[in-house]
Chain A
Amino acid sequence: MKPNLLKLSALALLVTLAAGCADDGDDGLAGPQGAPGQVGADGSDGSDGSDGSNGADGQDGADGNNGQNGNLAVYTVTITNLTYGQPFSPASVVAHEPGYYPFVAGESASVALEMLAEGGSPTALIDEASTAIQFLDAQQGGGTPPRMMGSETTLVVPMLDADNLRLSVLTMLVDTNDAFTGLNAMDISNMTVGQKVAFTTISWDSGTEANIETAATMPGPAAQSAGGGGASAGFSDVRDDRLDVVHVHRGAVTQENADDPSREGLVTSILTEGDRWLNPTARVVVVRTR
């Protein structure tokens, strides 16, 4: 209702101006103050008031109110777990401008990433991202069971950022020491409303914990069944991998064939062949909904 009323008042102004135009003699009076801008359908500023003819400039109209979510772009993010048996932890889902990276291959992981990769908690990584100057929005996604499509996470960013936008989505493979998968500052610029894009992701080793695959060092259900697991078995600030750098994960060794003559398996591992995976590990679908 309110927009209609304002449109009517704008019409009245036009009538006034048209009448003024008929007078081509002396300077006219100062133009009337511009009508307040319309309430923006998508939140743009209200129109300036028009100048009075030959008169002093009319004052600018008041800015229109922003429409609800009017100048924002909205994206949904859905993770599908492509593995046979590795549950995914709650995910860190972050929209940001270029320049922020949750990790760099070949460099040491931040403590926040270590907390996600070893313990499956995205909280610190989201906090870390939110302090970056490139930060736009973040959500904690739900965990995703093996072979399942996860729940939808919604991110809202200023529409001005839609033409140069990055998405970082990270989640832990919880039946591992420090494996994680996801997107590292993936370019999702210039998506149109309604457009859907899909990415497949590989698994990374955060390089922060040796992959000994014991119940006391992994947080997930496989470790829980073996008498360990949980938060206490997750994050540890000790860094005891061969090299303290993020690299592509080489997969789980597991206990299979540990006792046969091949000695292939890892005697201390509580993992089984069903906990193995190959890349790609996850599918991430992004839809721009607004």
Chain B
Amino acid sequence: MKMNKIAIGALLAMATSGYAQAVEVELSITNLTHANYMTPRLAIAHDATVDAFEVGTDASMALAWLAEAGVIDDAQNADSSGQNFEASLGPVDTDNGSNTWHRFGGLLPPSTTLTYSFDTMDKPYFSLLTMLIPTNDAFAGLDSIVIPTEPGTYSYYLNVYDAGTELNDELNSTRTDITEEGGMPLGGYGLPGVAGAGAGPIAPSMGTGGTGVAVTVGFAEDGTALASPNEVVDGTDGPVHIHRNTLGDTSATDGASDLDSTVHRWLNPVARVTIVVPAS
């Protein structure tokens, strides 16, 4: 009997210490850009089997949805169902074994900070992704950092990656004077200047009338003329790599780009993520 009691006591102690490690960390993100907004943040605590993005490797469909449209889950965009991060990671706010994730909502405007509490559920690594708008498929990423366990404040600076799933034409997706090749309206899930979940274009407003940057309206990537001068080809420029920045131009009505070269550019880093591990 006595032995049993000791065994139970030891079990309780183990359970208690295990529970104490499931620390809720305080997670902050600051947008350091001049004029790029950031879509809802995908925060993932995970093990070594999960890799939300990997430089030098083609993007997953889930990453394409995040980088082109800011979409993480079905609730944001039903069309993404089965293809988004919710599909690849599992249900939100759940211990999915290999991971637990949360979508921290709202657009993050330039020079603002948002702070959240995030339960890492004892996973060893942390990743965070957020799309920059207005861009074709740029996202800021924090790639599998080891979650600190010692109490303290830890800061990380995020660079911008190009998902490589869309050519950086820098054309305003609300334009109707041009279409995708084949006559489809601009956009699909690649909507420069338009956030996921149906949000409208953001200020400062984009121009129109651009002829295209990485690809020119009316021409294929190799420069041959398309059948229609009002069509723009879609293509890829992967694998995932550090983004080369937007070009923009200084005209709201013509020039190459519908972005503003004096407004919409950035240099790395574009965001600071701070993790506070509380004293237990």
Contact = CB atoms under 8 A, between A and B. Distances in A.
A266 interface: yes
A263 B250 CA distance: 6
Contact of B34 (A250, A266, A267): A250
B241 to A, nearest CB: 15
A249 interface: yes
A211 interface: yes
A251 B265 CA distance: 8
Interface in A231-273: 242-243, 245-251, 253, 258, 261-267
Contacts of A267: 250
A245 B250 contact: no
Interface of A is mostly: loop
A279 interface: yes
B120 interface: no
Interface string B241-280: 0000101111100111100011101111110100000000
Contact of A264 (B33, B111, B261): B261
A205 B32 CA distance: 10
B266 A263 contact: no
A105 B32 contact: yes
Contacts of B267: 202-203, 248-251, 278-279
Which bucket holds chain B's interface residue count?
20 to 34
Contacts of B250: 253, 258, 263-267
B96 interface: no
Nearest to A249: B267
Contact of B256 (A202, A242, A249, A264): A264
A243 B249 CA distance: 21
Given A247-B111, A278-B267, A263 B249 contact: yes
Nearest to B264: A250
Given A105-B272, A243-B111, A264 B34 contact: no
A279 B32 CA distance: 14
B266 A250 contact: yes
- Is chain B's interface secondary structure helix, strand, loop, or mixed overall? loop
B261 A106 contact: no
B98 to A, nearest CB: 34
A263 B254 CA distance: 8
B208 interface: no
B112 A106 contact: yes
B265 A264 contact: no
Given A106-B111, A262-B256, A263-B256, A248 B269 contact: yes
B229 interface: no
Contacts of A279: 267-269
A270 B268 CA distance: 24
Interface in A134-185: none
Contacts of A105: 30, 32, 111, 272
A253 B263 CA distance: 9
B113 interface: yes
Name the residue among B112, B245, B254, B255 with the largest chain A CB count within 10 angstroms. B255
12 contacts: A202-B269, A243-B111, A245-B111, A246-B111, A250-B33, A250-B266, A253-B262, A261-B211, A263-B250, A263-B256, A265-B250, A279-B267
6 closest Cβ contacts across the A-B interface? A263-B255, A262-B256, A263-B249, A248-B32, A245-B111, A263-B251
Given A248-B266, A278-B267, 14 more contacts: A105-B32, A106-B111, A203-B267, A242-B204, A242-B263, A245-B111, A247-B110, A248-B33, A250-B34, A250-B266, A262-B247, A262-B255, A262-B257, A265-B250
